[in-house]
Amino acid sequence: MTDLPATASVVVIGGGVMGASTAYHLAKAGVRGVVLLERERFFGLGATGRCAGGIRHQFATEINIRLSLLSLRMLDALEDETGQPALVRKCGYLFVLTQPQQVETFGRNVALQHSLGVPTQWLTGDEVRRCLPACVFPDALAGTYCAQDGLADPNSVVMAYVSAARRLGVACLTEADVTGLETAGGRIAAVITAQGRIATPVAVNAAGPWSAPLAALAGLDLPVVPLRRQWLTTTPLPDLPTNFPFVIDFAQSLYFHPEGEGLLTGMSNPNEAVGFDQSVDPDWELTHMEAAVERLPRLERAGVVSRWAGLYEVTPDAHPILGGTPVEGLYLITGFSGHGFMHGPICGQLLAEIITTGRAATLDVSALRLSRFAENQPIIEYNVV
């Protein structure tokens, strides 16, 4: 780490996609004296670096669909904006539905997506089977496919924003562990790190799965919990169709997507306990792979290249928290509940708008305020994988 500045206009805490995007968009909006602090040796080693890279429009709430519409456009334009591409690959997302209740709910979701301009296609069970000749889905009742969904590279996105922020004068520092948030008269006064104190009127909590312990340093109780999720990548599968999409067996939260010449596959453990453990659970990997081979038998012949576990940052309604807090000068950009990577570009921009002008002009995100939980006004999202 280079020298810590003694003062800042804004300190952004957490160097994942949210912190990097927020720092960049603050500087782009003309804010000088922005500092980005990450406690690891490199940026993007938290949830962002462990994420599956999926980007999609297929959500069940208007706010998530609108965030995707804006954010995926920003990923397409990232190279023009920052000089570094997001390595977007539009392989499409195909949700496979095997339960009558899902068919009904996804029917409503697709109607909502259409009303907002997302060209999701409805597939019958037979059409699903025709689209996925490599898979075994005798029980597929229907499916939904959006060709504009796909993949992007998390590390490229984080480093694009960090590098562009640096060029605009942001001090982007690693190995800077925030250990205290100093308040005075109910507002932020300073951010304390192991290396020293930065006096600042504004701090942004972009600590992802660790955002609740960070908020607690300012006496704020945040409803965000860490939940482990894991995936693995395989050796090449040369006979896999080249147009293989991001496939989600929704009932099992089981997914596959192309990764290099092989696949990346994961499955969410519905019994996972809340906690900060980021080690791969070998028992769950066994359960996952049994289910995966049943759906994609050729996986039996593949080897494992890498396996990763990371943490979702989960809120009670599976929607993020974006905006201010009762502690004046303390802002939140957290709680993305399993799909934050894709919303990082737009959410960093929206938070920069809130900090600099008092409101997000690009998109009304007041529904994502922290106080919705105390007001008992949660948002319901069905498409969580």
H/E stretch holding 95 reads strand 93-97
Nearer to ligand FAD, 40 or 79 (CB): 40
Nearer to ligand FAD, 101 or 279 (CB): 279
Nearer to ligand FAD, 54 or 143 (CB): 54
H/E stretch holding 226 reads strand 225-234
Dump strand ranges (E) for 215-358.
225-234, 246-249, 254-259, 262-267, 304-314, 321-324, 330-334
**Which tokens in the block code for residue 314?**
């989960």
Q: Are 39 and 25 in contact (CB under 8 A)?
A: no
Within residues 197-216, the interface with ligand FAD by CB under 6 A covers: 206-210, 214
What span, in angstroms and rounded, lies between the C-alpha atoms of 179 and 373?
A: 27
Within residues 7-66, the interface with ligand FAD by CB under 6 A covers: 13-19, 37-40, 45-48, 50-54
x/- binding map, residues 272-311, to ligand FAD, per CB under 6 A? --------------------------------------xx
Within residues 317-356, the interface with ligand FAD by CB under 6 A covers: 334, 336, 338-342
- Other Cβ atoms closer than 10 A to 376: 6
Nearer to ligand FAD, 125 or 209 (CB): 209
Phi/psi for 290 (5° steps) reads -65, -45
CA 301 to chain centre: 31
Our finding on whether 220 is near ligand FAD (CB under 6 A) is no
Which of 25, 28, 229, 288 binds ligand FAD (CB under 6 A)? It is: 229
Residues 6+ apart with CB under 8 A from 363: 66, 67, 70, 346, 350
Our finding on whether 226 is near ligand FAD (CB under 6 A) is no
Q: Which residues bind ligand FAD (CB under 6 A)?
A: 13-19, 37-40, 45-48, 50-54, 177-178, 206-210, 214, 229, 231, 310-313, 334, 336, 338-342
